[in-house]
Amino acid sequence: MAGPTSSEFIEGNASTVQAGQSGDYRFALIALTSLFFMWGFLTCLNDILIPYLKNLFELNYTQAMLVQFCFFGAYFIVSIPAGNLVGKIGYQKGIITGLVIACVGCLLFYPSASFASYNMFLCAFFVLAAGITILQVSANPYVSALGPAETASSRLTMTQAFNSLGTTVAPFFGSWLILSTIEHPDSVTELDQVIGTLSAAEQASTVQVPYLILAGALFLLAMTFLFLKLPQLGKKTVEEQVAQSSKSAGSAWKYPHLVMGAVGIFVYVGAEVGIGSFLINFLTQDDIGGLTESQAANYIAYYFGGAMVGRFIGALVMQKIKAGKVLAFNAICACVLIGLAMFSAGTVAMWALLLVGLCNSIMFPTIFSLALKDLNQHTSQGSGILCLAIVGGAVVPLLQGMLADSLGIQLAFILPLLCYGFICFYGLVGCDAKRPQGSN
């Protein structure tokens, strides 16, 4: 998932920390950029594993969506403790801690596959996401600190682009190393026959090598950051920021545009994750794409690649047009495309849903920035509220799974459509809701 991340409020203050820092941190910035790539890559792999695990354990859609529930639920549970942890050990050690925990999460896929246990897989997803959460809380401030304050925004944009690159590349990796290993592309019937001859443990073992490779990559990154010289963003700085945030506790809730913005983040992340989670199952339907799972996995790259391309287009457009109007326009386009996907068939339905990724591109950062507008001293708390709203990625896909079980996968997309409808309302009306007088 692209966009700002947990404890993002520290980013805004990090540029003040970097005053007095000197030296060439080019290699450090490259290393940090690799982190953004990695967590985008790991997050997108969930969309590959959901249909894989669904078939393996004969799950219904609701049960399969527990993958996203556990993964994004970790953001909600771990974000605040992660911020406290970083406040005690500092940013660089926080990055190393996040990488190690994420590495452990990847390693847990090995015994989960050996025992062919869905519950163990869910635990592995939670641990992996917990590590990524700590990693994001720690890594973002460094991007702002590595260079002049006036160019911090461009550095953040660049690293976010690599996050999107990770989500674009991951489907090819998952298709090649996971789905294709048990598939015969000649026919679905032949695939069912092949799978039927394998035990659950033999089928599950397909994920062991890919996640061992990822665990090794995360461990190497942890070792790199252990010996890397980075700006000393000390623990005192973090403690001061936390103290400053606590002074205005509760006040941010008085701003209706922030509250509605939190709902906007909740439904946006939920819609984006929900669509991505169902893409493979949607494209494999005979009346849509008739693809095998490994073939369908490659098409997910168009969904997330569209978001990457749209981010650069949106950045240029919003220099001329108000952000709220651009947000509403993208949301309307997303509603139209989802409507086409729901009530048409074949390539029209297929490409309509894939093009929603292009509409997603500017939504997260735009909602985030509009919601924080004019919060002044309450910005820190407001940002924390918005970050917790990422839990929408856990709740909405689960509800969509329930709808898919009762109404069918195609009609279940009514839930993301309603989510984008609210985002349209927020862009046109909600973001300009009257602020309370005398609350600044």
- pLDDT per residue, tens digit, the chain (440 aa), is 544 444 443 444 444 444 344 445 677 788 888 898 998 999 999 999 999 899 889 999 999 999 999 999 998 999 888 888 887 888 889 999 999 999 999 999 999 999 989 999 999 999 999 999 998 888 776 676 676 665 555 566 677 778 888 888 998 888 887 776 555 444 444 444 444 545 566 666 788 889 999 999 999 999 999 988 776 654 544 445 555 555 544 567 888 989 999 999 999 999 999 999 999 999 999 999 999 888 898 898 899 888 888 877 887 888 888 889 999 999 999 999 999 999 999 999 999 999 999 999 889 888 988 888 888 777 767 877 888 899 999 999 999 999 999 999 999 999 999 999 999 999 999 888 765 555 44
Alpha-carbon distance 427 to 248, whole Å?
27
Per-residue pLDDT at 199? 57
Tokens of 407: 């109404």
- DSSP-assigned states of every residue in 253-289: GG-HHHHHHHHHHHHHHHHHHHHHHHHHHHHTSTTTT
Cα–Cα distances (Å) from 147 to 25, 198, 232, 236, 369, in that order, read: 8, 54, 13, 21, 22
- DSSP-assigned states of every residue in 11-70: HHHHHHHTTT--S--HHHHHHHHHHHHHHHHHHHHHHHHHHHHHHHTT--HHHHTHHHHH
Q: Say if residues 338 and 416 touch (Cβ distance below 8 Å).
A: yes
Torsion angle (degrees, nearest 10) of CA 390, 79, 92, 67:
-60
Question: Which amino acid type is present at position 183?
Answer: E
Alpha-carbon distance 37 to 183, whole Å?
28
Q: Say if residues 12 and 139 touch (Cβ distance below 8 Å).
A: no
Q: Tokens 């509403």 label which residue? A: 328
Stated pTM of the model: 0.84
Q: How would you class 57 by CB atoms within 10 Å of its CB: exposed for 0-12, middle for 13-18, buried for 19 or more?
A: middle
Tokens of 86: 């970083």
List the helix and strand counts (H, then E) for the chain. Answer: 21, 0
Q: Say if residues 140 and 7 touch (Cβ distance below 8 Å).
A: yes
Q: For the stretch 191-215, what's the b/e string if a residue is b when 16 or more beta carbons lie within 10 angstroms of its beta carbon?
A: beeeeeeeeeeebbbbbbebbeebb
Alpha-carbon distance 106 to 108, whole Å?
5
Alpha-carbon distance 297 to 176, whole Å?
9
Q: Which of 91, 440, 367 is nearest to 241 (CA)?
A: 91
SS3 2: coil
Alpha-carbon distance 289 to 381, whole Å?
45
